[in-house]
């Protein structure tokens, strides 16, 4: 990003020293837009191509992964990413800075992907509700791994091993491929949450905001997703 | 819940523990159990490794054609054109 770029500040909107708000209707949310996001939004509004391309690059993998939860044709995934950027550009003048730019962008993407999935009628079991995905029994670890009777009931029958000695293997490329495949087998809601939390490093609040989840549901989905990936990883490590 | 945790119960609390969402009393029970149980310490360590492995999944880069299309979209938007809505 060119350091000399003068920020474009509509004078009717913001006076020096005022907290960042892009329109008069911004309600206090306790959220403060970062200086970088502020620069980015101003640059986009100003039509800064360098900044735009840097953002495209930065969020590309995230956007594709998230879109791929809804639509499975790679060409459609690409369309969704393109449409999300168009939507973001068209809406950039209305961006109010109530969430981070990334959260805002991914929410646009999610909405477009959902609509597209409905249109394609191949919404990959997305008709199922979050509630179906957080209710019911889905133990983190197979019940057979625990003792079922005696004084130590509920304690490990087959305890997990330390992975301290297999760190090289954990970092190996084939492990990554295997884990990526394991993520594909998660339910769509679980997949979204683990992608955003653990691959993209968003925090719980941001993920609740993007996906419209309650704090508890977000955590249950994350728990189930991580637990399943661990199980798969354990099988993979033990099979070596 | 004043009783001791079993391993089977502990594994279901791992995410809440890592998220800092466990009430203080439960944190204490969780950590007391961990202190006396190697299996659960290994389990927690495996969970941390899992999060790390997932976090290192490789990023894909923008294909040049995709970049060009996006740039065209951007330039069109800048000129105030509304591109044809995709089929
Ligand atoms: Zn234990």
> CA B77 to CA A47: how far, in whole Å?
9
Burial of A182 (0-12, 13-18, 19+ CB in 10 A): buried
B83 vs A132, higher pLDDT: A132
CA diameter of chain B: 68
B84 vs A139, higher pLDDT: A139
Write the pLDDT tens digit of every residue in A148-158: 999 999 999 99
A4 part of a folded domain: no
Q: Are A33 and A97 in contact (CB under 8 A)?
A: yes
Chain A residues whose beta carbon lies within 8 Å of the beta carbon of residue B54: 179, 183, 194, 198-199, 226, 229
Question: Which of these three, A119, A151, A174, is where a domain ends?
Answer: A119
Write the pLDDT tens digit of every residue in A112-141: 999 998 887 654 555 566 777 777 789 999
pLDDT of residue A72: 82
Q: Are A212 and A193 in contact (CB under 8 A)?
A: no
Match 């670890």 to its residue by tokens.
Answer: A141
A2 part of a folded domain: no
Q: Are A40 and A55 in contact (CB under 8 A)?
A: yes
Instruction: Tell me how many residue pairs between chain A and chain B have CB atoms under 8 A apart.
Output: 144
A6 part of a folded domain: no
User: What's the number of domains chain A is made of?
Assistant: 2
| B32 close to A (CB below 8 A) | no
| A203 close to B (CB below 8 A) | no
Residues 101-160 of A with CB under 8 A from B: 139-141, 143, 146, 153-156, 159-160
> CA A126 to CA A70: how far, in whole Å?
7
- Choose the most confident range, by mean pLDDT, from A56-70, A148-162, B50-64: A148-162
From the CB of residue A164, how many other CB atoms can be counted at a distance below 10 Å? 9
Q: What is the DSSP letter of A198?
A: I
Alpha-helical segments (H) within B1-63: 7-18, 24-36, 38-55
Point out the residue among B8, B19, B58 whose CB comes nearest to the CB of A146: B8
pTM score, whole prediction: 0.76
Domain positions in chain B are 7-78
pLDDT of residue A128: 60
**d(CA A201, ligand 1 centre) in Å:** 29
- Give yes or no: residues A145 and A62 share one domain: no
pLDDT of residue A88: 96
Which CATH number covers residue A41? 1.10.1740.10
Angle at A222 between CA A219 and CA A226, to 5 degrees: 140
Q: Which of A140, A179, A215, A225 to mutate to test the interface with B (most CBs of B within 10 A)?
A: A140
pLDDT of residue B8: 97
A15 part of a folded domain: yes
Write the pLDDT tens digit of every residue in B6-37: 999 999 999 999 999 999 999 999 999 999 99
Chain B residue with CA closest to A64: the answer is: B60
Q: How far is B84 from chain A (nearest CA, A)?
A: 11
pLDDT(B57) > 90:
no
> B51: pLDDT confidence band, cut at 50, 70 and 90?
very high
Chain B residues whose beta carbon lies within 8 Å of the beta carbon of residue A234: 46
> A2: pLDDT confidence band, cut at 50, 70 and 90?
very low
pLDDT of residue A127: 52
> CA A23 to CA A27: how far, in whole Å?
10
pLDDT of residue A13: 37
Q: How far is B27 from chain A (nearest CA, A)?
A: 17
pLDDT of residue B83: 57
Which CATH number covers residue A219? 1.10.10.10
Question: Which of these three, A119, A140, A171, is where a domain ends?
Answer: A119
Question: Which of these three, A90, A119, A148, is where a domain ends?
Answer: A119
**d(CA A143, ligand 1 centre) in Å:** 14
A125 part of a folded domain: no
- ipTM surpasses cut 0.85: no
pLDDT > 70: what percent of chain A? 84
What is the average pLDDT across A60-74?
88
pLDDT(B47) > 80:
yes
Region label for A124, one of left (φ > 0), alpha (ψ between -120 and 50) or beta (otherwise): left
A59 part of a folded domain: yes
- Give yes or no: residues A194 and A141 share one domain: yes
- Give yes or no: residues A135 and A95 share one domain: no
- Give yes or no: residues A71 and A107 share one domain: yes
A115 part of a folded domain: yes
- Give yes or no: residues A234 and A134 share one domain: yes
* Residue A202 structural domain: 130-239
pLDDT of residue A193: 95
pLDDT(B46) > 70:
yes
pLDDT of residue A9: 37
A199 and B54 in contact by Cβ < 8 A?
A: yes
> A161: pLDDT confidence band, cut at 50, 70 and 90?
very high
A5 part of a folded domain: no
> CA A55 to CA A138: how far, in whole Å?
38
Strands of chain A, DSSP E:
none
**d(CA A153, ligand 1 centre) in Å:** 11
* CATH architecture, domain B7-78: Orthogonal Bundle (1.10)
């Amino acid at each position: 990003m060119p350091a000399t770029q003068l920020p474009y500040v509509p004078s009717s909107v913001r006076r020096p020293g005022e907290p960042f708000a892009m329109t008069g209707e911004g309600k206090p949310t306790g959220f403060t837009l970062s200086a970088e996001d502020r620069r980015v939004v101003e640059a986009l509004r100003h039509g800064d191509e360098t900044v735009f391309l840097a953002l495209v690059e930065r969020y590309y993998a995230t956007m594709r992964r998230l879109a791929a939860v809804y639509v499975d044709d790679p060409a459609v995934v690409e369309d969704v990413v393109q449409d999300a950027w168009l939507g973001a550009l068209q809406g950039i003048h209305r961006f109010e800075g109530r969430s981070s730019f990334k959260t805002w962008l991914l929410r646009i993407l999610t909405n477009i992907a959902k609509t597209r999935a409905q249109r394609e009628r191949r919404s990959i079991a997305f008709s199922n509700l979050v509630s179906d995905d957080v209710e019911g029994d889905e133990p983190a670890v197979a019940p057979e791994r625990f003792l079922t009777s005696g004084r130590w009931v509920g304690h490990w029958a087959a305890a997990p091993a330390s992975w301290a000695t297999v760190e090289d293997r954990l970092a190996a490329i084939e492990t990554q491929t295997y884990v990526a495949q394991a993520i594909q087998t998660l339910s769509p809601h679980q997949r979204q949450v683990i992608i955003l939390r653990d691959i993209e490093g968003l925090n719980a609040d941001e993920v609740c905001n993007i996906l419209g989840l309650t704090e508890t549901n977000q955590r249950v989905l994350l728990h189930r997703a991580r637990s399943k990936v661990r199980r798969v990883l354990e099988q993979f490590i033990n099979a070596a | 819940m004043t009783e001791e945790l079993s391993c089977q119960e502990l594994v279901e609390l791992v995410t809440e523990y890592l998220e800092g969402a466990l009430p203080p009393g439960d944190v204490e029970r969780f950590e007391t159990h961990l202190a006396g149980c190697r299996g659960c310490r290994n389990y927690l360590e495996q969970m941390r490794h899992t999060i790390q492995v997932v976090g290192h999944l490789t990023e894909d880069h923008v294909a040049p054609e995709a970049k060009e299309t996006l740039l065209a979209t951007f330039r069109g938007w800048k000129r105030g054109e509304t591109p044809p809505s995709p089929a």
